A and B are shown apart, each in its own frame.
Chain A
Amino acid sequence: MELSRVVLGILSGLLVAALVRALAARWWPRARWSVHLSAGLLVGVLAGAWVSQMEGGYLAYLVTFCIMAGIYGVFSLGLNVQWGYTGLFNIGIAGFFALGAYTSALITTRKPPPEVWFYFKQAIGLDQPFLVGLIGAALVCGLVALLLGLLTLRLREDYLAIATIGVAETIRILFNSEEWLANGSQGLIGIPRPLACLIQNPPCAWLPDWAKPLVAGWTARDLDAIYLVIVVLALAALYWAVEQGIRSPWGRVLRAIREDEMATSMAGKNVFGFKLQSLVLGAMIMGIGGGLYAHYMRSISPDVFVPLFGTFIIWAMVMVGGSGNNKGAILGGLIVWGIWIGTTFLTDLISPLLGAISPELPARAPYFRYLLLGALLVLVILLRPQGLLGEEKQVSKL
């Protein structure tokens, strides 16, 4: 539990500090940068201290919330590369989500022994570490995106949209119906959590002796906190990689393609090649997101990767946060996931009201959330089409 306090305290402190600093810089542009920074740090420290004092149950809930928001942040980054910067209309994110999750799961789990094959079928089980699983997920998703791009990126842009949604459904149905591959609709279980050995007794063999007493009392909740650190580190690394590419001439070509393909090829750029790179990089990031999800949930089944959870909520995140801005994409992930989780409380609240109208309605209350998500998108498009943080004016900044 103590670990959760430290991790969440630091993370929320940093996040709040960054937000306050940015807001201060916007509202008092005449003040010095050091004033903005110290205002951010002050509020950040207060926020971090407040969060770390929270009661245990809230804290645990906040950790799981942040993990999912972080994983969705990874997906928004991937979509931002494809749509925000290159204008590639990918509405099959769920396909790469599923493919990444299953690939990482099949790489890191062990193949079940023959005695249980009747109940539990799994074609591959390589028993490799977590990182190998993530890299494998990225590579497989990149390969699928490469094939998809080679086939469709020379055509008009609508064909890419049709192809991506087709591939996404194909992947989901493939995992659902081909039982020999990954246990069909039952899905895979027992996907390992990285560093899970820390809470076993005795702890990991590689741990130095002096560190063993430190982890002695750790529980599954501490493991969640560790996973949150891993997710945040992955998100930070991917953010750096995307940002570095976008700020350099590579990103400038992508943005030019988004604005006008014909003029970009007339400026001597191989439009097809750059579109392919963008599609593949975005898909690889999505694959990593899928892998992170699988190792967090520990069990996956095809029914998770439906368009709502796998695709449209991510689109909402990029639109709300600001397409063409990587900070915005991550912020959008946090906000939209917060709203999505928040609406579960709302549906509980309105259930009695719906029951008063008709006895059948309360059972359908969950669908009210979809309506809210749609309404949010419409509001953003009407009131702030560029998203909370729009694209910066001068993007090439190296």
Chain B
Amino acid sequence: MPSEVLLDVRDLVKDFGGLRAVNKCSLSVKRGTITGLIGPNGAGKTTLFNLITGFYKPDSGHVFFRGEEITGLPPHRIFHKKLCRTFQIPREFKQMTVLENLMLVPAGQRGENLFCSWFLPRLVRRQEAEIRDKALAVLEFVNLIHLKDEYAANLSGGQKKLLELARTLMADPEMVLLDEPGAGVNPTLMKQLVANIEKLCYERGVTFLLIEHDMDLVMNLCNPVIVMSNGEKLAEGTPQEIQRDERVLEAYLGSQYRAAVRE
């Protein structure tokens, strides 16, 4: 079992007006794991993701990635530290092709400098060819290769989820935060998504932290599982431990469900 802590969140606080969305939340994710993050609606899971990836600035607390403090850095700087995320509702670039959606992502593209694109077109062209090959390989991996020249807007909901995952892969991430990767995905695509996540984790050593409401998916895929409630960490453990945890059943599944389980 790998033991190195990759992502470390300490006493994170975020208030929206009078509402405390994240309340002194502390949790850590070990390298090489697929960690599940569950909790009832409004528990602060997505807010926590936004805090980790720099979209919100925390009111207090710290985030460490690979032992380095990344609290309050702008999103693009955090991205360059190889910590990527996907969105709950896919945010594809609609009027761009699937291939261009992926080719956008790699860092250090010389052609992003206007002067390079004017005066060093051959260098840019060579780099573009490399990036295109990489994007095609990633599309092959997530099984979207047949849609490479389609507008991203025309993809189905599930395909957009795959596109989001593919986009993070273009960055060779060390860790990916997935926000409800399974929501609105049909069972066939879902199997493919799970297989992709497992392959990436076990073969390429990518660490995952994923928010999910589909309990079957979480219990099959994730270990450990972290439970959030009211903006703080409630419990952490193996799927079996979490399933038996009284507090989790209370908070997450509701007291009615717990009563049903007892009968």
CA distance A191 to B117 in the complex (A): 35
CB distance from A90 to the nearest CB of B (A): 19
Judge if B8 is at the interface, Cβ distance under 8 Å.
Answer: no
Chain B residues near A250 (CB-CB < 8 A): 111-114, 117
A residues 252-285 touching B (CB-CB < 8 Å): 252-253, 255-256, 258-260, 262-271, 277, 281
B171 at interface, CB cutoff 8 A: yes
Selected interface stretch from B90-98, B202-210, B234-242: B90-98
Does A354 have its Cβ within 8 Å of any Cβ on chain B? no
Beta-carbon contacts under 8 Å, B110-153 to A: 110-114, 116-118, 121, 124-125, 128, 131, 149, 151
- Whether B66 is near chain A, meaning CB under 8 Å from some CB there, is no
Q: A262 is contacted by which of B55, B97, B128 (Cβ under 8 Å)?
A: B55
Whether, in the assembled complex, B254 has its beta carbon less than 8 Å from a beta carbon of chain A, the answer is no
Are B104 and A277 in contact (CB-based, < 8 A)? no
Chain A residues numbered 226-270 whose CB sits less than 8 Å from any CB in chain B = 241, 244-245, 247-250, 252-253, 255-256, 258-260, 262-270
At the interface, yes or no: B11 with Cβ under 8 Å from chain A?
A: no
Known: A250-B114, A269-B76, A394-B149. A263 touches B93 (CB 8 A): yes
Given A265-B74, A265-B76, A266-B84, also A260-B112 (CB < 8 A): no
Q: Are B84 and A253 in contact (CB under 8 A)?
A: no
Q: Is A371 interfacial (CB-CB < 8 Å)?
A: no
Contact of A248 with B111 in the complex, beta carbons under 8 Å: yes
Cα distance A394–B100 when bound, in Å?
Answer: 8
Q: In terms of DSSP, what is the predominant structure of the interface of chain A?
A: helix
- Name which residue of chain B comes closest to A390, CB basis: B95
Q: Which residues of B contact A205 (CB under 8 A)?
A: none
Nearest residue, chain B, Cβ from A386: B95
Q: Does B107 contact A (CB under 8 A)?
A: yes
- Rounded to whole Å, the gap between the CB of B52 and the closest CB of chain A is 12
Residue in B55, B109, B167 whose CB lies within 8 Å of A249: B109
In the complex, chain A residues whose CB is within 8 Å of the CB of B84:
266
In contact, B96 and A266 (Cβ under 8 angstroms): no
Chain B residues whose C-beta falls within 8 Å of the C-beta of A262 in the assembled complex: 55, 91
Q: Please tell me if B191 contacts chain A, counting CB pairs below 8 Å.
A: no
| Chain A contacts for B117, CB-based, 8 A | 244-245, 247-250, 398
Interchain residue pairs A-B with the least CB separation, the first 3: A248-B117, A268-B79, A249-B111
Contacts from A to B (Cβ < 8 Å): 241, 244-245, 247-250, 252-253, 255-256, 258-260, 262-271, 277, 281, 324, 391, 393-396, 398
